[in-house]
Structure 1
Amino acid sequence: MSSSKEPTVIQKLIGNIAPKLAELTDDVLFGDIWARNELSPRDRSLITVACLITSGNTQQLKDGHLNLAKQNGLSEKELIEVMTHLAFYAGWPKAMSAILVAQEVFTSEK
């Protein structure tokens, strides 16, 4: 498992039921892939948010990727624009679902 003594968000979320998946998420996905220098964290977040929307995986937006995108430099306005743009490429229902999740996440922070 990850060498951190404090459980990570992923460990708290799924570590009790899927410890290996939590370990891979922490160590490989976020510990290696997200840490690579070839793309900025902002670009990685933009790509990830777009992929999650196009695949209809809005729960992952809610569970952390919208907040991570903001931490990585994307504004709420930019994220909403991504969703609006994707309505024409990924489909209206997927964009609408993402907007509803964004509304929930963004308003709960204020």
Structure 2
Amino acid sequence: MPESKQPGGPRQQFGDIAPALAGYSEDVLFGQVWENQDLSARDRSLVTVAGLVTSGSTEQLAFHLGRARENGVSDKELIETVTHLAFYAGWPKAMSALTVARTVLAVS
């Protein structure tokens, strides 16, 4: 995947301190894994958003909410995903995710 699709590009963001991890991120994760045709990009986005919400990884969530939109997931579907996960991942994680979603999706 082109570096422009990354939040600044892993090599640009972390290549100076973690060149191997930056390379794996671009070449393996966003290259081989995300480009694998066994799951659609839309499905991968939903799975990724769900994983980030359930783990409380809100720093990564902002980028992946935007990417999910690019991959055809609607704002309504993203909010419903977070709402659904509140019952499985926990209320605080869902509320934290909604704080990020409000900014990224410009939902009021």
Give the alignment's TM-score, normalised by structure 2.
0.88
Letter in structure 2 aligned against 1:73: G
- Percent of residue pairs identical: 56
Tell me how many residue pairs correspond in the alignment: 104
Distance 1:49 1:72 in 2: 12
Match of 2:34 in 1: 34
Equivalence map 1:7-26=2 (5 Å): 9-26=9-26
Following TM superposition, the consecutive aligned residue runs of length 4 or more in structure 1 with deviations greater than 2 angstroms are: none
Determine if the alignment matches structure 1 residue 47 to structure 2 residue 47. yes
- In the alignment, structure 1 segments of 5+ residues that lack a partner are none
Shift in Å, 1:107: 2.3
Give the alignment's TM-score, normalised by structure 1.
0.86
- In the alignment, structure 2 segments of 5+ residues that lack a partner are none
Considering fraction of residues, name the structure with more helix: 2
CA RMSD of aligned residues (A): 2.2
Letter in structure 2 aligned against 1:47: V
Distance 2:45 2:64 in 1: 7
Shift in Å, 1:106: 1.8
Match of 1:104 in 2: 103
